[in-house]
Amino acid sequence: MGKQRILSGVQPTGNLHLGNYLGAISNWVEAQSQYDNFFCVVDLHAITVPHNPSTLKENTYKTAALYLACGLDLEHCKIFVQSHICAHSELTWLLNCVTPLNWLERMIQFKEKAVKQGENVSVGLLDYPVLMAADILLYDADKVPVGEDQKQHIELTRDIAVRINDQFGSKGESVLKIPEPLIRKEGARVMSLNDGTRKMSKSDPSELSRINLLDSPEEINKKIKRCKTDPIKGLSFDEPERPECNNLLTLYMLLSGKQKQEVAAQCQDMGWGQFKPLLTEATIEALKPIQQKYQEVIDEKGYLESVLRKGRQQAEAVANATLSRVKTALGYSVPL
């Protein structure tokens, strides 16, 4: 039996941060040899909120370079840009026409982002999860590794696929594969450094709320020094009333590569003054190799373009085959 297939992506909006890394990309890297992997930079999603055309391309390349810098290996992975493959937009249209409006109106992320934007909410923002469903379904993905916040979108993807299969599958043959989310327990929800009850996010106006993968040691030091803590001495996991403590210990555990029990034992009698330098050191050390590799990728002129060109060719073949299958099932004529 062949390997199961994985598809995932990150939006090229702003800087990638520890939430993107620990919630998504580090999981892609860890499991890559077990799967047949497709990773895209989802630049069509990036325009569902107001965007700046002069930075879109640069951010798209930066995000792809970070995929490589974090350790994705081209032996196991296809890396490509969503907008380079027309099938993403075309399948979105077909899926739109079977997706009930009220399924989209109840998406938590839509409701949250719509409130933030006030009156200027675009149809694109509402349709965002259908585009995401198209991304996943085009590649017949078995698993979709994401952070906790994307779970509802994957459930919607499954519902859309089931609906297509029910309405257009024939003789027990399904048209689309039903994917499953792959969400790691630890790190699935990295919280803001300013508030342990809110998730770390690219769109938070405060730079101090997140650590970006390309932050310098000085910036990391400053952000951890200023991050929110609590007045209780002794640090421990799993105390619901201490969200910041939980978050920072989890970050330390994941970035240092230590086991939970080891961290719990090491930190149980510590105060923040003792803990913060440890977390700072672990973060700087974990990000150093990523930053070095990133620089190498960016410095090698033409390399990234060649990676994305090859990725596009490989991904397009799979995507176009699925698109044809769906169009045939829906009753379209094959182009002459």
Q: Which of ligand AMP, ligand TRP, none does 200 bind, CB closer than 5 to 8 A by kind?
A: ligand AMP
Among 150, 165, 209, 212, binds ligand TRP (CB under 6 A): 150
Q: Is the Cβ of residue 137 or residue 211 nearer to ligand TRP in the bound state? A: 137
Pair of tokens at residue 249: 């210990």
Strands 77-81 and 36-41: parallel
Selecting among 151, 177, 202, 228, the annotated active-site residue is 202
Q: Is the Cβ of residue 181 or residue 275 nearer to ligand TRP in the bound state? A: 181
Among 85, 95, 132, 308, binds ligand TRP (CB under 6 A): 132
113 is catalytic: yes
Phi, psi of 204, rounded to the nearest 5 degrees: -65, 125
* 151 secondary structure, DSSP code: H
- Cβ proximity of 17 and 210 under 8 Å: yes
SS3 194: coil
Site for ligand TRP in 223-262 (CB under 6 A): none
Selecting among 62, 78, 143, 199, the annotated active-site residue is 199
> At residue 272, what is the residue type?
W
Sheet of 36-41: strands edge to edge?
77-81, 36-41, 5-10, 143-145, 180-182
| Site track for ligand AMP across 184-213, x = CB under 6 A | ----xxx--------xx-x-----------
Which residue's Cβ has the minimum distance to ligand AMP? 23
> At residue 295, what is the residue type?
Q
Report the DSSP beta bridge partners of residue 181: 144
Which residues here bind ligand AMP, judged by CB under 6 A? 10-11, 19-20, 23-24, 146-147, 149-150, 188-190, 199-200, 202
> Annotated active-site positions, please?
113, 199, 202
